């Protein structure tokens, strides 16, 4: 019995030494970053920008692997079930981690099956209407919708998507009744939005800002907590009479849950270094994105806090997916 403390001390020393070695020698081979979106999409471009910078910082290539299908759940499952050695990472979105748990029976647990590393970037949505809509502000749009309940329509990039959730959050907050018209992607909705077949859409900014600049659509607000540098003249929904409103889509890097803490720390430090580079800020800004960057603990807390928030939006809106 007297020897037990000594054995435990030796075991602790061994584990500490192993963690130190893992941190000092990692990475020893190329990394793989799984993205649950198709090549050429906004998150895919984020992954490729981030991966290129991480390769420079870590000294090893970062290979991007696009895994689509099942609303991104296949990609998230592959990350969750990968070897927890720090060589398989996932660039997952708000949809994977905090929205889908209320829409699907998932093959992974968004809290227990991942080791959050850092949130990387967020994408504000822009609320736009076609030019025939007699509303120049969020307040006027809400008044119009309430005067004609159930007649105004909103487009989205698909049921359960970030654009859909932004609109549902807006509907829940304002109490308006609108009809959801899902499309196969944001771009597919644009012709009907411009022509007036649908009333409005919450869209990623790069998709609709050129049309706003050309006068083909009217921008009423952005859904971020503060105004975006891409269109500083457009107010936030929060400024427009609904304080605290925020409905952005974010992307973050995660590893499998059992990844060693030393390796998660190494990855976090590398990502923090990359996100501090001005040219990355500029390139992400061109994609309509804002740099985030936080600690693994802060990222984990954000996931836990947002799951019940979006569960309420989905429940109140009686949202289901096919």
Residue 53, Ramachandran bin (φ over 0: left; ψ between -120 and 50: alpha; else beta): alpha
Give residue-wise pLDDT tens across range 162-199: 899 999 999 999 999 999 999 988 889 999 999 999 99
Q: Residues 290-302: what's their mean pLDDT?
A: 96
CA gap 277, 294 in Å, rounded: 15
Decide which of 4 and 61 is more confident.
61
111, 58, 65: which is closest to 86 by C-alpha? 58
3-state secondary structure of 266: helix
Indicate where the chain has its CATH 3.40.190.150 domain(s): 28-122+249-316
Residue 71 confidence (pLDDT): 80
- pLDDT on residue 22: 52
d(CA 162, CA 152) in angstroms, rounded, equals 20
Q: What is the pLDDT of residue 13?
A: 54
Answer yes or no: CATH 3.40.50.2300 is held by domain 125-222: no
**Dihedral sign (CA 179, 181, 182, 186):** negative
- H helix intervals, the chain: 4-25, 42-58, 73-80, 94, 138-147, 162-174, 186-195, 205-213, 261-275, 278-286, 296-316
**Mean confidence (pLDDT) of the chain:** 91
pLDDT of residue 1: 45
What pLDDT, on a 0 to 100 scale, did the predictor assign at position 230? Answer: 87
Pairing of strands 88-93, 31-35: parallel
pLDDT of residue 155: 97
% of the chain residues with pLDDT over 70: 92
Output the pTM of the full model. Answer: 0.85
Q: Over the stretch 113-158, which tens digit does the pLDDT of each residue have?
A: 999 999 999 999 999 999 999 999 999 999 999 999 989 999 998 8
CATH class of domain segment(s) 28-122+249-316: alpha beta
For residue 16, pLDDT over 70 is answered with no
What whole-number distance in Å separates Cα of residue 237 and Cα of residue 235?
7
User: Of 43, 108, 36, nearest to 75 (Cα)?
Assistant: 36
Q: What is the mean pLDDT of residues 4-17?
A: 56
CA 143 to chain centre: 30
Whose tokens are 């309420």? That residue is 312
CATH 3.40.190.10 domain residues, the chain: 125-222
Question: Predicted confidence band at 51 (pLDDT cuts at 50, 70, 90)?
Answer: very high
CA 202, CA 168: separation in Å to the nearest integer?
10
Q: Two tokens at 221?
A: 């607000």
Higher confidence at residue 53 or residue 25? 53
Integer Cα distance of 221 and 235 in angstroms: 5
Stretch 35-42: mean pLDDT, rounded?
88
Q: How confident is the model at residue 229 (pLDDT cuts 50, 70, 90)?
A: confident
């Amino acid at each position: 019995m007297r020897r037990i403390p000594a054995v435990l001390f030796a075991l602790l020393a061994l584990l500490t030494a192993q963690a130190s070695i893992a941190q000092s020698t990692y990475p020893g081979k190329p990394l793989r970053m799984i993205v649950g979106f198709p090549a050429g999409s906004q998150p895919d471009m984020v992954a490729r920008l981030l991966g290129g910078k991480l390769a420079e910082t870590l000294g090893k290539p970062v290979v991007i692997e696009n895994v689509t299908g099942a609303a991104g759940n296949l990609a998230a499952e592959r990350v969750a079930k990968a070897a927890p050695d720090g060589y398989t990472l996932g660039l997952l979105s708000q949809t994977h981690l905090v929205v889908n748990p209320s829409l699907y029976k998932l093959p992974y647990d968004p809290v227990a099956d991942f080791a959050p590393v850092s949130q990387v970037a967020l994408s504000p949505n822009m609320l736009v209407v076609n030019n025939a809509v007699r509303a120049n502000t969020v307040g006027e749009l809400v008044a119009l919708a309430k005067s004609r309940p159930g007649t105004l329509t909103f487009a989205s990039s698909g049921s359960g998507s970030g654009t859909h959730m932004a609109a549902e959050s807006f509907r829940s907050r304002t109490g308006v009744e609108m009809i959801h018209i899902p499309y196969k992607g944001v771009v597919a909705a644009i012709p009907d939005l411009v022509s007036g077949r649908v009333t409005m859409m919450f869209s990623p900014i790069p998709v609709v800002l050129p049309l706003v600049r050309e006068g083909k659509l009217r921008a009423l607000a952005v859904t971020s907590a503060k105004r975006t540098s891409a269109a500083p003249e457009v107010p936030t929904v929060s400024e427009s009479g609904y304080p605290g409103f925020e409905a952005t889509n974010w992307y973050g890097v995660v590893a499998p849950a059992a990844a060693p803490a030393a390796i998660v720390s190494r990855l976090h430090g590398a990502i923090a270094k990359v996100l501090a580079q001005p040219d990355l800020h500029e390139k992400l800004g061109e994609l309509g994105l804002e740099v985030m960057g936080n600690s693994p603990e802060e990222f984990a807390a954000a996931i836990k806090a947002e799951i019940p928030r979006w569960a309420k939006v989905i429940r109140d809106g009686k949202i289901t997916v096919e």
